[in-house]
Amino acid sequence: MKRKCNNQTEDSRLQGDLIPSVVLVRPYKKSDFACAAPGQKGVGSVLGGGSQMFPPAGGPFNIEMLLSLAVTFEHFEILRAIGKGSFGKVCVVQKTDTKKMYAMKYMNKQKCVERNEVRNVFKELQIMQGLEHPFLVNLWYSFQDEEDMFMVVDLLLGGDLRYHLQQNVRFQEGTVKLFICELVLALDYLQSRHIIHRDIKPDNILLDEQGHVHITDFNIATTLTKDSPVTTIAGTKPYMAPEMFSSTTPTSYSFAVDWWSLGVTAYELLRTRRPYHIRANTSTNEIAHVFKTATVMYPAAWSPDMVALIRKLLELNPEKRFSQLKDIQAFPYLSDVSWDAVLQKRIMPEFIPMKGRLNCDPTFELEEMILESKPLHKKKKRLAKKEKDTSKSNSSQVRAGHLQKHLEMLQRDFIVFNREKHWPLPKPLTVFGGPGLGGVTGRGLWGSCFGGAWGSQGWGNCGVSGSSCQAVGSSRAAVPLWGLGTAWAFPHSSIILFYPQG
């Protein structure tokens, strides 16, 4: 049996040197079909008309590397809850194999769907996968299970700047000066990636144990391109730039809005209050009026240089506002700064968070343990019970059709990521519902999956060249394919292995 692929003819039977392959499954159309080049060991995946090879061309095949990509909730030990974000909660976790500590942000799928927040979560994931910087909170892993979406990021134990303000910390000028230097390097990096954060504020700036700052929370960040100007109003009102509050028609804005937010934050750190009397419930018209009439007061105790710097960050006209790294570097107040030393964290902050202290609100832990109906630390037992129950009844029938449809779409489109292995998995494997052909490997293996689902508790009927078989994904399942190999469905993950037998 022959078929055409990239102007080459391949035999669809298994032949030659057979190796384990990753099979990415999703509904497809024939134009999506992609193949491995003849003689090349690897796997082509159904990914919008292109193909990705694993291992990369010229690289050795390493089954252990392949298996290690399947990072799941089971790979982490939950230690304690430390905070809440816009869309979820945050726990300290330890990866069981490496013993490394991380922060794990988890977001309940059903709540995200009900609040129409899925798009923001996906956008945050997409943005964070492409970022890595010393003054950002970097993403390490993203994965999902049937209840939650997970983002595993750098653990910063120094607390956020809001917490320290609430603890009546009085930041000195030298400390704020270094904060500004570190933050503008991060903003310059984001600008180089065409990203506007849109929510720079003390709550979203975390300290590490040495006192260096890190920007977090990219859930309302956006990408700016020449073809798509940004006009939507997004952010936290007291920190939003004047150009975002046009009282007539929507006005496009740029990276300068983040630099305005930096100015508000720096002012607040020094004075423990913001430069303008704007609250979250202040109307847009009132805010526009405040910017037209109010005058920012600068305490006499502040140095003239610091006042001049903050004035440039709080310039009402975005065209005149400091909004590029070169503006800051040329400013006389910062002429003595070694920017390489700042980037390498060789300049020690004057304020160092207290070691051995929580540096976060302890009520988060109580809330997680007592008030949460589905606390994270009980997830493993809960999912084990759920998997046992689903062998008796199909839980998907219980959910309402509209909600179920969106949950299935979320499951299908969630972006899996593993920075440790430098291998993002663009599409998950779990497929619910109608017929679809999925998975293209080198050497001509092809298979069709009809309905069902591969994944944490789903099932699938999979055929190879007309022969069918079944797999239950609630546990690792060995599945004979055509009598010539074994397929492995990994629970709570996005990987299916086909391991041919010679």
**Is 84 among the annotated ligand-binding positions?**
no
Token look-up 């982490």 returns: 76
Q: Where are the beta strands (DSSP E) in 40-138?
A: 43-44, 76-84, 89-95, 101-108
For 175, other C-beta atoms within 10 Å of its C-beta total: 18
Under 8 Å between Cβ of 85 and 217: yes
Contacts of 486 (CB under 8 A, 6+ apart): 478, 479, 480, 498, 499, 501
Which of 446, 445, 428, 441 has its CA nearest to residue 489? 428
Give the bridge partners for 102, in sequence order. Answer: 93
Tokens at 318, concatenated: 């975005």
Phi-psi region of 222 (alpha: psi -120 to 50; beta: other; left: phi over 0): beta
Tokens at 44, concatenated: 């082509």
Under 8 Å between Cβ of 40 and 34: no
Q: DSSP states of 143-204 as a string?
A: EE-SSEEEEEE---TT-BHHHHHHTT----HHHHHHHHHHHHHHHHHHHHTTEE----SGGG
- The residue from 32, 199, 208, 258 that is catalytic is 199
Residue 199 bears catalytic tag: yes
Contacts of 248 (CB under 8 A, 6+ apart): none
Nearest 5°: CA angle at 144, between 141 and 147? 145
Which of 498, 495, 172 has its CA nearest to residue 350? 172
Which residues carry out catalysis?
199
Detail the residues annotated as belonging to a binding site for ATP: 105
Detail the residues annotated as belonging to a binding site: 105
